[in-house]
């Protein structure tokens, strides 16, 4: 189910977003807050409506995925209490539609997205989904800040879902996690285990995993796919796994507990995304000493360092095609049972994947936003 409906053309979705945004703005008329931080198209109009209402509260908008902008026909303006004057290229009009994310970009004091490289990609015609010009107009007020993970929940030294615990000082028990997982899935524990976990959609490059799977298995790997999504892609993965029997498994949607066991037990994680705003599973993998094999895009490029470098944590490739993925996996498999693999695991586990650094950056933005609004108010007072 889609709680907020579709983000393109569904007037009922516009009505829901409009009701929510207007309710928030009415609440903000009555309460005092330092800053308002909104996320994605559903809430993106709050900064715009605050500005239109003259409510002096600084706001921050975070864009998690530039593909979803909230595009609706002219009639959607009424859901936000706005008249036709707002349907203008300098305001909410966007290629013949009302664009809710554009409203947030115009109204927020700062705009963020979830990784520095994805921020840069959104500023290009190739990845900007036509919003690149509007985002470019924000200059340095458009910022990329990586997401983090809950390091208490994702901790191989204390994870209650694992049959054995390990840490940076003692990686040996990770082998016990792999052995238990291989037995659970009916796989050969002597083969390197390659995991693909997440939504099975084209954006994630799942078709590339299906096409490259036979080559991975011929190279000596076992392949495990966990996730649910588009039926044709699921069928392609299941057919590929059947052709690679007994060395491949497609598990479908998995429990939280099994996801933890998969990340701990696998040797490598593949993420061949066509684009990836941030990505989260590669952060779990780094935390658990499971070496990522990722396409050099968005947050994957920011969070994984190629093994060719002294501080390498994984393997990166560029072309979004099966051959490039298979080549990267082959390069990774060359490290199996070598000192290099242990070095990559430890380097990844040392990486800061928590929320401390991102939270500090967000706090800095909040402070700047509040300072700027306070200074503007002081200047206006002096002019009066």
The answer on pLDDT for 257 being more than 70 is yes
Same domain, 254 and 306: yes
Same domain, 180 and 273: yes
Same domain, 256 and 319: yes
**For the chain, what percent of residues have pLDDT higher than 70?**
95
Residue 118: HSE in the Cβ half-sphere, 13 Å Cα cutoff: 27
Binned at pLDDT 50, 70 and 90, residue 300 comes out as very high
Q: 128 in a domain, yes or no?
A: yes
Same domain, 140 and 258: no
Query: Which residues neighbour 230 within 8 Å (Cβ) at sequence distance 6 or greater?
Result: 200, 201, 202, 206
Question: Which of 149, 145, 131 shows the shortest CA–CA distance to 60?
Answer: 145
Binned at pLDDT 50, 70 and 90, residue 79 comes out as very high
Q: 178 in a domain, yes or no?
A: yes
Mean pLDDT, the chain, whole residue set:
96
Q: 314 in a domain, yes or no?
A: yes
Strand 268-271 relative to strand 193-197, pairing: parallel
CATH no. for residue 257?
Answer: 3.40.50.2000
**Looking at the chain, which runs of residues are DSSP E strands?**
36-39, 59-63, 71-72, 93-94, 97-99, 110-113, 142-144, 193-197, 222-226, 248-250, 268-271, 291-295, 315-317
Same domain, 342 and 371: no
The answer on pLDDT for 251 being more than 90 is yes
Q: How far apart are CA 251 and CA 228, in angstroms?
A: 9
Binned at pLDDT 50, 70 and 90, residue 1 comes out as very low
Same domain, 116 and 193: no
| Count of domains observed in the chain | 2
DSSP string, 8-66: BS-HHHHHHHHHHHHHHHHHHHHS--S-EEEEHHHHTHHHHHHHHHT----EEEEES-T
Same domain, 195 and 68: no
Same domain, 184 and 50: no
pLDDT of 210 reads 99
Same domain, 105 and 180: no
Range of the domain at 342: 174-350
Q: How far apart are CA 66 and CA 133, in angstroms?
A: 13
Same domain, 67 and 189: no
Strand 222-226 relative to strand 248-250, pairing: parallel
Mean per-residue pLDDT, 48-62? 97
Q: 340 in a domain, yes or no?
A: yes
SS3 222: strand
Q: 207 in a domain, yes or no?
A: yes
Binned at pLDDT 50, 70 and 90, residue 320 comes out as very high
Tokens of 268: 């490598």
Q: How far apart are CA 107 and CA 110, in angstroms?
A: 9
Sheet of 291-295: strands edge to edge?
Answer: 248-250, 222-226, 193-197, 268-271, 291-295, 315-317
Mean per-residue pLDDT, 187-198? 99
pLDDT of 177 reads 99
Same domain, 237 and 96: no
Q: 2 in a domain, yes or no?
A: no
pLDDT of 374 reads 81
| Residues paired with residue 195 on neighbouring β-strands, in sequence order | 224, 269
Q: How far apart are CA 143 and CA 102, in angstroms?
A: 16
pLDDT of 4 reads 54
Q: 184 in a domain, yes or no?
A: yes
Cis previous bond, 246, omega within 30? yes
The answer on pLDDT for 375 being more than 80 is no
Quickly tell me which residue has 């598990």 as its tokens: 251
Mean per-residue pLDDT, 258-281? 99
**pLDDT tens digits, one per residue of 160-185:** 999 999 999 999 999 999 999 999 99
The answer on pLDDT for 382 being more than 90 is no
| Residues paired with residue 140 on neighbouring β-strands, in sequence order | none
Same domain, 329 and 366: no
Mean per-residue pLDDT, 309-330? 98
pLDDT of 289 reads 99
pLDDT of 383 reads 56
Q: 136 in a domain, yes or no?
A: yes
pLDDT of 373 reads 84
Dihedrals φ, ψ of 222, to 5°?
Answer: -100, 145
């Amino acid at each position: 189910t889609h709680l907020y409906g579709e983000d393109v053309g569904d007037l009922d979705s516009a009505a829901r977003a409009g009701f929510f945004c207007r309710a928030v703005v009415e609440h903000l008329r009555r309460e005092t807050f330092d800053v308002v931080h909104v996320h994605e198209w559903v809430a993106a109009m709050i900064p715009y409506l605050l500005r239109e209402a003259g409510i002096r509260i600084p706001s921050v908008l975070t864009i998690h995925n530039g593909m979803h902008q909230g595009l609706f026909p002219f009639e959607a303006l009424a859901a936000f209490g706005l008249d036709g004057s707002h349907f203008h290229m300098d305001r909410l009009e966007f290629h013949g539609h009302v664009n809710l994310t554009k409203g947030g970009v115009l109204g927020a004091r700062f705009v963020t997205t979830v990784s520095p490289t994805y921020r840069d990609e959104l500023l290009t015609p190739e990845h900007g989904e036509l919003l690149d010009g509007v985002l470019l107009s924000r200059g340095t007020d458009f910022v990329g800040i990586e997401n983090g993970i809950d390091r208490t929940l994702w901790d191989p030294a204390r994870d209650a879902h694992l049959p054995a615990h390990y840490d940076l000082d003692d990686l040996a028990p990770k082998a016990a996690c792999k052995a238990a997982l291989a037995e659970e899935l009916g796989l050969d524990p002597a083969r390197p285990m390659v995991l693909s976990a997440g939504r099975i959609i084209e954006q994630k490059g799942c078709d590339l995993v299906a096409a490259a799977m036979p080559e991975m298995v011929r190279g000596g790997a076992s392949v495990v796919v966990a996730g649910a999504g588009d039926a044709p892609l699921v069928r392609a993965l299941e057919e590929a796994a059947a052709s690679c029997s007994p060395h491949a498994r497609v598990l479908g949607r998995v429990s939280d507990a099994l996801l933890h066991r998969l990340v701990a037990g696998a040797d490598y994680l593949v993420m061949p995304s066509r684009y990836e705003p941030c990505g989260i599973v590669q952060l779990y993998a780094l935390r658990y000493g499971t070496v990522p094999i990722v396409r050099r895009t968005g947050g994957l490029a920011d969070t994984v360092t190629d093994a060719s470098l002294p501080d390498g944590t994984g393997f990166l490739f560029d072309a979004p095609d099966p051959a490039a993925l298979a080549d990267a996996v082959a390069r990774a498999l060359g490290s199996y049972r070598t000192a290099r693999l242990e070095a990559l695991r430890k380097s990844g586990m040392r990486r800061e994947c928590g929320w401390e650094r991102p939270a500090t950056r967000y706090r800095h933005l909040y402070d700047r936003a509040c300072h700027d609004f306070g200074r503007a108010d002081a200047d206006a007072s002096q002019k009066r």
